[in-house]
A and B are shown apart, each in its own frame.
Chain A
């Protein structure tokens, strides 16, 4: 379930209507063929939308709701259940820091707190330059790398706060 820590800075939702790009609309159609009902495609469709826009704003939810004929309220419930669906604006890069047992043994918690401080931000709140959102996570399934971090789609092994900062400073 989603962390109780909430991002504080909610920027107003854009009023521009959202739509899948032509390529993503094709992907959407292909996704539907994988399942025996439309609802089952909801998670992959939310992933797809998030890949296009970064986070799942009201306008995105409205679009998906119309597209799939699933009530908005149901989609919102689903989004809020999963840690990797974002209902707040996030930075260009998502950085997940593991704070579970094996990683905490090697400073995972101090690294997470240190990064928040270094980038002067909070849970998921984008840095002022919009570059990074930090997210505290449970075991990421890569404990041999402890302390372990995920940057966007990849696992990254770090040794300490300094090496973590160094890695993140390289991000576009």
Chain B
């Protein structure tokens, strides 16, 4: 197999090789915004149908079908509603959305305009994490360019359709990536999630219908509308059609972002796209879908195909497509400790099982530092994690529990040694 990463024949990074493509004229010369113009001659329902047929699954982590979610949205075109792009990208290991928009902001804007036309949203916001300051500026400039061309604002291209689009910067809180936390944050509050249902599509920002989609989901729309759902399905599997961005970090020679068809093997991703293992070391484990995804041992890592169903069948999840590669020199105790510190720090504190649970999980590692942890603490970790699942307002508690239990399943002995090695007798 050849190295097809960033291949211009794919959907999302197809403009990435063009110098200066963040500039609207260069983007348009390469065919950008053509699909948007064509879409304004299509019935909104026809666009929704095409997206549904493409089988595109939300790229923010949960993998829920975008077309199906769009189907839950009110069809009343006059009702006030919002399109909210999730560019919070805070799941540890994830940096694909950043890579996509910093080089090619217009692919997202084009996708949002088409989506807005299909969904009849009058206003849109790109909620981008505070740390992505330069990327927010790139998007701001690109939006200005699109306004100047008449692609945003009032009566777009004389079609009697209004759509305003703004960038909204977060300020450093992982939980704002969760869609209802994001809505609270956009409302000018603490980014605390709200109980679902009602789902944002029914009752979201300011109590109004709000469609929340990830950057990568929205950026896939122009390609799908240009080439059709059938063409999109040439890639991937029946249940995981299309291409996906993966962000790979850790012990590989070439960490970075690639676009490959879903169902590409993890082995190819590591060995071909990422230039193999760093220092020629042996692979020990892989976190396949961001820090909340249960870890794979080397054996599973070498046989898994990166699509939603195969990763799930092997006990983990594709999540945001953040692949963290760990070699033989890594201690899984360290990895779990870093993971759990993160979730404790990021729990918004509303739900007791999450606030207390993430604290308990982390405390085992704090005790270890004082020489007060025991082998049996691994069972305690397992039990605590299990009691946190499905009990809370949002999925952060589960996101902390899943990798904990996954790690114990695969590396129990190593964890037991890790916590008890320095135990004072």
Contact = CB atoms under 8 A, between A and B. Distances in A.
Interface of A: 1, 3-4, 34, 36-37, 39-44, 46-47, 70, 74, 77-78, 81-85, 96, 99-102, 104-105, 137-144, 146, 150, 153-154
A1 to B, nearest CB: 6
B93 A102 contact: yes
Contacts of A96: 131
Contacts of B129: 141
A43 B123 CA distance: 18
B346 to A, nearest CB: 6
Contacts of B164: 34
B171 A47 contact: yes
Interface string B68-112: 000000000000000000000111111100100000000000000
Nearest to A75: B188
A81 B247 CA distance: 28
Contacts of B189: 39, 74, 78
B345 A101 contact: no
Contacts of B94: 139, 141, 143
B114 to A, nearest CB: 22
A139 B133 contact: no
B87 to A, nearest CB: 10
Contacts of B173: 1, 81-83
11 contacts: A43-B169, A78-B188, A81-B191, A84-B130, A84-B172, A99-B338, A100-B291, A101-B92, A138-B345, A141-B98, A144-B255
B166 interface: yes
Contacts of B330: 105
A104 B249 contact: no
Given A44-B169, A83-B173, A141-B98, A101 B335 contact: yes
Given A82-B130, A141-B132, A43 B345 contact: no
Contacts of B56: none
Given A139-B342, A141-B132, A34 B98 contact: no
Contact of B190 (A34, A47, A81, A150): A81
B34 interface: no
Given A1-B349, A84-B172, A104 B190 contact: no
B54 to A, nearest CB: 27
> Which of B166, B190, B347 has most chain A Cβ within 10 Å?
B190
Nearest to B131: A140
A38 to B, nearest CB: 8
A104 B333 CA distance: 13
B134 A153 contact: yes
B406 to A, nearest CB: 14
Interface residues of B, number: 57
B131 A146 contact: no
B206 interface: yes
Given A43-B188, A44-B168, A1 B255 contact: no
Contacts of B322: 143
Contact of B171 (A37, A84, A137, A139): A84
Contacts of A34: 164, 166
A82 B172 contact: yes
Contact of B172 (A78, A83, A102, A104): A83
Nearest to B347: A1
B21 to A, nearest CB: 20
Interface in B155-174: 164, 166, 168-174
Contacts of B247: 143-144
B168 A101 contact: no
A32 B89 CA distance: 26
A75 to B, nearest CB: 9
Contacts of B255: 102, 143-144, 146
A83 B345 CA distance: 11
Contacts of B249: 102, 143-144, 146
Given A99-B338, A101-B93, A105-B251, A39 B324 contact: no
B133 A153 contact: yes
A83 B129 CA distance: 11
Nearest to A136: B345
B95 A144 contact: yes
Contacts of A36: 123, 206
